[in-house]
Structure 1
Amino acid sequence: MNAHAFSEQQLPPWRRAVLKVGSSLLAADGGGLSARHAEAVADFVSASHAAGREVVIVSSGAVAAGSAVLRGQPDSGAPMAERQALAALGQAKLIGFWQSLLQRPVAQVLLTHDDLRNRRRYLNARTTLAALLRHRAVPVVNENDTVSVDELKLGDNDNLAAIVAALVDADVLLIATDIDGLYDADPRRHPDARPVEVVAQLSAELLGVAGGSGSDVGTGGMRTKLEAAQRASASGIATVLFNGTRADVLEALSRDRLLGTRIHALRSRVAVRKHWLQNAVTEPGGIVVDGGAANALVEKGASLLPGGVLAAEGDFRRGDLVEVVLRDERGTRRIARGISQYSAADIRRIARRHSNDIQSVLGYNYGGNVIHRDDLALT
C-alpha cells in the first residue's frame, strides 16, 4: 500500500452535520462555478438525507461566482469594495447552483461574526436554522461578505463553519478540502510526508505544520481548518477533514467510512454546554416558578413553560442567561439557570398562560418554551 495513502476508518454515528465546502471545490477555471466536484458533494448530502440525517452547508464560492458575472477574477490586491461587489453578485448564483444539485429546498442564510457574538442575534439565527431543518430544507450558510469587511479579508469560512456547528448542535463538522487530509508535513513540498489519521488533541506542533492556502481561488488553508477543528473540539464537536475532489471518498463517507483525518472533541457537547450554563454570569433578576414547574424541571428534565411561571424580576432581554427560582411556602431558592427565549417584559405578560396563547397575547412567538431544556442547567 502507498505509504502516503489514508487507510479507511469507521466514522462515529452522527445525526446532524455541518459540511464546509471551499472555493477550490466549486470554482471553475476562468471564473464561475463548476459542478465537477460539487456533484459528488451533493450526492453525499442527498444520501445523508435518505438516511434520516440533517446537513447544513457552509459554502464559499460567492466571489468566484460573481467573477463570472463581470468576467473578471480579482487579484489579491483588488480593492475590498470590488471583492464585496463580486460576492454580492455571486451569492444568488451560488444558491441557485446548490439548488440545481439538491432535491430539497435550499435556503440562503447570511451571517457575520458579529451576528454570532451577539447573544440575541445568535439565538435568532439558531431558531431560524432549527426551523429550516424541521422543514427538511438545506441551509446554505455564508458570511455576509458585503458588510463583513474583516471576515472577507480573512476568508475564514472554516471558522464560521465551526461556529455554525456549535450554533446548530451538530454532531460533527465535515470539512471538504482539496487534499486527502492532515499530514505531518506539507505533502506538496515533502514527498515523505505521512498521513495523520487520528488527532486526539491538536498541538502547537501540528498547527505549526499547517501551511497556507493551496488554491488560487480560496483564501483559507490547512491552518484555518485546524483552527476551526480546535474551536469545534472545544465546543464538544469532532471534526473530519477529507478530500472533497474524490467521489470515492465522499461515497465512503456516506457509508460512515472515512478516508481522511478525524480530530476528536475534547469533551461531549452536553458537558461543554452545561459547564457554560452553570458558570457564566447571569443577568440581574430572574424567573420565578411554582412547585409544579420546579418539579418538572428537576425530576423530569422538562423545559420551562409559561404556565408554571409566577413572575419575572429584573429587566433582562431575550437570549440572556437568567436564574430560575422556586417561590413557595418554604421561601425562595435557586433551582436552575438558563437562556430565556423571552424578555422579562414578555414573560410578565404570558406568565400563567398556556403556550398556545403566546401568539395572541404578544402578537408574535419564539416557541412554546420560556427556557428550552437544552438551554437549562440545574443548580
Structure 2
Amino acid sequence: MRPMINRESLLTDIHRVVVKVGSAVITTGDGLNHAAINQLADQLAALREQGMEIVLVSSGAVAAGRQRIFERTSKKSKKYTDMASRQAASAIGQGRLMHDYDEAFARHGLVTAQVLLTRNGLKVRERFLNARNTMERLLEWGVIPIVNENDTVSTRELEFGDNDTLGAMCIGLIGADLFVNLTSADGVFDKNPDNHPDAKAMPTIEKIDAMDIETMCDGTTSVGTGGMYSKLRAARRASQLGVPTFIVSGKGDFDFMTALRSTDRGTLVIPREHAVSSKKFWLAYHDDPAGSIVVDKGAAEALMSKGKSLLPIGIAKVDGCFDQGALVFIKTLDGDELGVGLTNFSSDELCRIKGKRTGDLDSIIGHQTSNEAIHRDNMLLDAAI
C-alpha cells in the first residue's frame, strides 16, 4: 500500500511544476488584468526561490488581442466570435500577453520564453522529443517557459480544445511532479455550484478514474473554453502519469504556498498508484481517434485482465476509415470504451481479417511483420479521451 499523500507531502521532493492559468484569472471584461499577472509572477517567483522549475501554460491571448484592437477601432460593437476573428485576436494578443509577463517576471530577475505549440506539432514523435529537448534547455537556463497554443495556424477549433488539455500534455513533455490548475472556481464541487446551491466542496479526490465527471460538470466558464470538465479530464490524465493535480482559485488575495498547505482552499487530485509510461501517455493523447475497433467478450477480458495484445480473432467490428498506424478507440460490443491504441492494420485490412486466426492472415492479406491488430505496448486502457 502506498503512503498517504496529503498537501504538505506535495512540497517534498517537488522539482518541476506545470502551472496552468485560465482566462478568467488574468483577464477582465476589458482585457488583461495587469495586477493579476503581476500577482501570478510573484507567486511563481516564490516557487523558483525554493528551487522549483516552473512551466506556465497561460490563456489570455485572445482577450488581450480583442482589448488591443478595440482600443483603436469601433469594432467593439460586434462580437466577432468566429474562428478567424479569434485567431486574428490571438495573433494580436500574444505579443501583448508576453510583454506583460516579461515585465512582471523581470521584477524578480527572471527571464521568460514564449513557447507556441500545436497538437500536430507534437503528433510526430521526433518533433515531440525535439520540443522536450528545447524545454529542458530553457529550464536548465533558469528560464520560465510560457506555453500557449499556436492559435493562428491551428486548423481545427483551437486544436488542443483548451489549455487544460495543453497543460496535461506539458506534464508528459517535461516530466513534471505537480500540476497546478488556477481557475476562477475555488476548487472542485460535487455538483456545478452555478446550478446547484447545495453543491459541496471536495478538498481531496482520491480516485478520479471512478468519477463520472461528465455528469458532475454541466457548465463552463463564460470567459474560457474549458470549464471544470476539461480541468478534471486533465487531472485524470495527470493521474495516469502518477502526477497529482491541485485545482484552486487564482483570483483575489491568492497565496500559492498557503493554499497548498491548507485544506480550506482548492482540491487535491491524488494520482493513481501505478503510472503509465510517458510514451503510452503520448500515443494516447497526441491525436483524436480516427475510428473504433469493437472487440468480443473474450478479447476484452484478455486486454483488461491479462495484459494481452489485441489479435484479429477477437475483433467483432470495425468502425470508421483509417490507415495503418492510426490511433483508434477499443470498444466492447456494448459500446464501452476500453481504451485507445495504434493499429497495425488499416480499417480495410481489419475488416477482412476480423475474427480470423493469426495463421490465416498471410493467405488473406499477404505477409505481415506483425500479427497483432494492436500491440499491448501501443495501447492505453482506460484512457481519458
Which TM-score bucket, shorter chain as reference?
A: 0.5 to 0.7
Rounded Cα–Cα distance in structure 1 between residues aligned with 2:141 and 2:78: 40
- Deviation of residue 155 (structure 1)? 3.7
Percent identity of equivalent pairs: 37
Question: What residue identity is the alignment partner of 1:94?
Answer: L
1:262 to 259, 262, 268: 268
Question: What residue identity is the alignment partner of 1:210?
Answer: C
1:273 to 271, 277, 302: 277
Partner of 1:15: 15
SS in structure 2 at match of 1:146: helix
Rounded Cα–Cα distance in structure 1 between residues aligned with 2:133 and 2:49: 24
SS in structure 1 at match of 2:276: helix
Partner of 2:182: 176
Output aligned runs, 1:333-348, within 5 Å. Answer: none
**8 Å contact 2:149–2:163 — kept in the other structure?**
yes
| Residue 82 (1) aligns with residue 85 (2) | yes
Per the alignment, do residues 67 and 192 of structure 1 end up closer, same or farther by CA in structure 2, a change over 3 Å counting?
A: same
Any idea what the Cα deviations from partners look like across 1:212-245, whole Å, max 9, x if unmatched?
2222x21110001011111111122111100100
Partner of 2:342: none
Partner of 1:51: 50
Any idea what the Cα deviations from partners look like across 1:331-354, whole Å, max 9, x if unmatched?
xxxxxxxxxxxxxxxxxxxxxxxx
Question: What residue identity is the alignment partner of 1:272?
Answer: V
| Residue 109 (1) aligns with residue 107 (2) | no
Rounded Cα–Cα distance in structure 1 between residues aligned with 2:77 and 2:124: 32
Rounded Cα–Cα distance in structure 1 between residues aligned with 2:78 and 2:25: 19
Partner of 1:295: none
Per the alignment, do residues 62 and 11 of structure 1 end up closer, same or farther by CA in structure 2, a change over 3 Å counting?
A: farther
Per the alignment, do residues 67 and 123 of structure 1 end up closer, same or farther by CA in structure 2, a change over 3 Å counting?
A: same
Rounded Cα–Cα distance in structure 1 between residues aligned with 2:202 and 2:184: 16
Question: What residue identity is the alignment partner of 1:150?
Answer: R
Q: Which runs of 5+ in 2 are unaligned?
A: 1-5, 285-385
- Deviation of residue 154 (structure 1)? 6.8
Partner of 1:222: 228
Question: What residue identity is the alignment partner of 1:17?
Answer: V
Rounded Cα–Cα distance in structure 1 between residues aligned with 2:34 and 2:227: 22
Question: What residue identity is the alignment partner of 1:212?
Answer: G
Q: Which runs of 5+ in 1 are unaligned?
A: 1-7, 281-379
- Deviation of residue 265 (structure 1)? 1.4
- Deviation of residue 10 (structure 1)? 2.8
Question: What residue identity is the alignment partner of 1:160?
Answer: L
**8 Å contact 2:26–2:37 — kept in the other structure?**
yes
**8 Å contact 2:220–2:228 — kept in the other structure?**
yes
- Deviation of residue 81 (structure 1)? 1.3
**8 Å contact 1:67–1:86 — kept in the other structure?**
yes
| Residue 156 (1) aligns with residue 187 (2) | no
Any idea what the Cα deviations from partners look like across 1:251-281, whole Å, max 9, x if unmatched?
514x74462111111135xx5228959x99x
| Residue 67 (1) aligns with residue 66 (2) | yes
**8 Å contact 1:143–1:151 — kept in the other structure?**
no
Partner of 2:217: 210
Per the alignment, do residues 183 and 117 of structure 1 end up closer, same or farther by CA in structure 2, a change over 3 Å counting?
A: same
Any idea what the Cα deviations from partners look like across 1:169-192, whole Å, max 9, x if unmatched?
000110000011100111122222
Question: What residue identity is the alignment partner of 1:273?
Answer: S
Corresponding residue pairs, total? 267
Per the alignment, do residues 88 and 68 of structure 1 end up closer, same or farther by CA in structure 2, a change over 3 Å counting?
A: same
Partner of 2:242: 236
Rounded Cα–Cα distance in structure 2 between residues aligned with 1:67 and 1:275: 38
Rounded Cα–Cα distance in structure 2 between residues aligned with 1:74 and 1:120: 45
After superposing on structure 2, the runs of 4+ consecutive aligned residues of structure 1 that deviate more than 3 Å are 72-77, 255-258, 274-277
Rounded Cα–Cα distance in structure 2 between residues aligned with 1:265 and 1:121: 28
Partner of 1:42: 41
- Deviation of residue 150 (structure 1)? 2.1
Q: Note the aligned Cα RMSD (angstroms).
A: 2.6
Rounded Cα–Cα distance in structure 2 between residues aligned with 1:119 and 1:74: 45
Any idea what the Cα deviations from partners look like across 1:36-69, whole Å, max 9, x if unmatched?
3233221110100100111100000010111122
SS in structure 1 at match of 2:277: helix
1:138 to 135, 144, 147: 144
Rounded Cα–Cα distance in structure 1 between residues aligned with 2:240 and 2:104: 33
| Residue 246 (1) aligns with residue 252 (2) | yes
1:165 to 147, 171, 182: 171
